[in-house]
Structure 1
Amino acid sequence: MTGAADFTVLGGSGYIGSRLVAHLRSLGHSVWAPLRADPKVFTRPLGHVIYCVGLTADFRTRPFDTVEAHVSLLADVLHRSRFSSLLYLSSTRVYMGAASTQEDAPLFVQPSDASYLYNLSKLTGESLCHASGRPAVRVARLSNVVGPGMDAESGNMVADLLQQARQGRVVLHSNPNSAKDYIHVSDVLDWLPRIALQGSHSVYNVASGHQTTHAQWLEWLQQRTGCVVDVSSHAPHHSFSPINVSRMQDEFNVVARCPPDIIQGVF
């Protein structure tokens, strides 16, 4: 990575944003993490912006806040702010229903399904980034981020399972064979600044490239806590395609933590 730089982290109070602020400062970068309504976002130079503002678990009950976070504020920043680069944090959830998880693949949406509001708002934010005409504007599609200090109230499934396991009993409400891609927060913190400062593409998948089943999480949690595990009857099976990570690997020569290392990094 290049030398010290000036960063602005929007959404710096969230799980990823707060840790990114601390990580960037530990590398010697100057970091500003303004509050959401700080008007100086539109008057002072921002340097390299990493846009971490977003909603996750409650997007279905807060549709207008979701659009405000993923689209409206972003539009104002792209239109009015002065910055050297901007990295918008999107999600690999946008690949729901897609035939490929390569960054340039066509994507599928279903506006009548409320579950797609998150995807649509993230994709609208991505489209704004591409159409803004501003140089050095990029998108990072994050997989399911896990790590120490996860908040079970955020809707993170692993955080919820971990909280239950520490209380002695886990109830899983989805099929144990369901599988997703998980990436440890330390890999995310390492990769995002590289993309922001050096990325040669407009979109990157920030993921591990490994599928981890719910059954694996339950096995690891039982080994470490001795918890009892129950699975709800008729628990639905959720199938997600493996995330293509060749672009990150080829350009930055990075390798994400494997699933066994991820679970060790969560405790």
Structure 2
Amino acid sequence: MRRVTIIGASGFVGSELTKYLERFGYTLRCPMRRELDDLCGDFGTVVYIAGYGVCGDIHDKLNCVHANTISLISVLKNCKFDRLIYFSSTRLYMGSMDSDESSDLLLLNDDNRRLFNLTKLVSEDLCLSTEKAVIVRPSNIYGTALKSPLFLPSIARDAVKNSHIDMYVTPSYEKDYISVEDVCMLIEKLIFTKKLKNKIYNLASGENTTSKSISDVIEAETGAEVLWHDVENEDYFPVTDIYNIVSEFDFKPKSVLADLKKMIIDFKFAHKEGMF
């Protein structure tokens, strides 16, 4: 069975991918973050999920550059692999009108996380320079992660625990969400398929969901109060084009609103058991 090295296995997506591939009998290697700059040898298929998204002070910015790009450079220079799958982001489409994988991309001056986008663009360009690398651009990944700071788990947790959620977006704010289960399934297809048709794949549901739709589900399932806070500026994301994964893998995405109901049931049980 194919050997797979998961870089970033301790994170939410990495840990879920590890469990998923173990069920399929893959031989896995999961190096620690501190090992990345010194890795060398033959690693089979490499899935590079390690990353850092905070772009606050200089410490955060240095971590962002190191995790998203510098450690990748070490892997590209020192490691042998059959295929490398690099996790980028659909955040690169922010502010754009188009979202297929060949679209021109914007860098917004008023984006306080533009360094994140820059590191992903640099790393993508490096990956495009080798025939063995494939790039995936996931949208907002969700799943039942009890202590996750991600948007959906955090507001579901607050609704169950505190009967209250704070929304720092407008009701009409919308973006794409993809299930971590769908992500794992698609990554396994990218690992297993010998000849891929594309170099870049958007991993997304192909439709945007408004924050009002999400809050309506949470209110109905938990009775939690929703407090909408004023916002001055809001990010814009076009609907993500998923033609590549639909045509190549017959992808049928899960519904985030249906899954949110199941997630709330899991959070209720976990809270009852004192798990948070």
Q: Is TM more than 0.5 here?
A: yes
The answer (yes or no) to whether the contact 2:96–2:237 under 8 Å persists in 1 is no
Alpha-carbon distance, 1:159 to partner: 2.2
The answer (yes or no) to whether the contact 1:173–1:236 under 8 Å persists in 2 is no
Aligned pairs for 1:150-161 (under 5 A) are 151-153=147-149, 156-161=150-155
Amino acid in structure 1 at the alignment position of 2:152: V
Name the CA distance, whole Å, in 1 between partners of 2:33 and 2:134: 21
Displaced runs of 4 or more, over 6 A = none
Amino acid in structure 1 at the alignment position of 2:168: H
In structure 2, the partner of 1:173 is 168
Seen in structure 2, the aligned counterparts of structure 1 residues 113 and 183 have a Cα distance that, compared at 3 Å, is closer
After superposition, the C-alpha distances for 1:149-202 in whole angstroms (9 at most, x for unaligned) are 15443xx22122112211111121110110010001100010012123323211
In structure 2, the partner of 1:47 is 44
Name the CA distance, whole Å, in 2 between partners of 1:106 and 1:18: 33
Name the CA distance, whole Å, in 1 between partners of 2:208 and 2:26: 34
Seen in structure 2, the aligned counterparts of structure 1 residues 29 and 102 have a Cα distance that, compared at 3 Å, is same
In structure 1, the partner of 2:203 is 206
SS at match of 1:69: helix
Q: 2:182 aligns with which of 187, 193, 199?
A: 187
Aligned residues: 259
Name the CA distance, whole Å, in 2 between partners of 1:217 and 1:91: 22
Unaligned runs of 5+ in 2: 265-276
Amino acid in structure 2 at the alignment position of 1:175: T
The answer (yes or no) to whether the contact 1:44–1:82 under 8 Å persists in 2 is yes
Amino acid in structure 1 at the alignment position of 2:153: A
SS at match of 1:38: helix
After superposition, the C-alpha distances for 1:58-101 in whole angstroms (9 at most, x for unaligned) are 23330011010111000110111011110000100001122310
Amino acid in structure 1 at the alignment position of 2:175: K
Answering whether residue 259 of structure 2 is matched by residue 262 of structure 1, we say: yes
In structure 1, the partner of 2:143 is 147
Unaligned runs of 5+ in 1: none
Alpha-carbon distance, 1:34 to partner: 0.9
In structure 2, the partner of 1:196 is 191
In structure 2, the partner of 1:118 is 116
In structure 2, the partner of 1:8 is 5
SS at match of 2:113: helix
In structure 1, the partner of 2:95 is 97
Seen in structure 2, the aligned counterparts of structure 1 residues 236 and 106 have a Cα distance that, compared at 3 Å, is closer
Seen in structure 2, the aligned counterparts of structure 1 residues 213 and 32 have a Cα distance that, compared at 3 Å, is same
CA RMSD of aligned residues (A): 1.8
Q: What TM-score results when the alignment is normalised by the length of structure 2?
A: 0.88
The answer (yes or no) to whether the contact 1:54–1:70 under 8 Å persists in 2 is yes
Q: What TM-score results when the alignment is normalised by the length of structure 1?
A: 0.91
SS at match of 1:217: helix
The answer (yes or no) to whether the contact 1:141–1:206 under 8 Å persists in 2 is yes
The answer (yes or no) to whether the contact 2:142–2:177 under 8 Å persists in 1 is yes
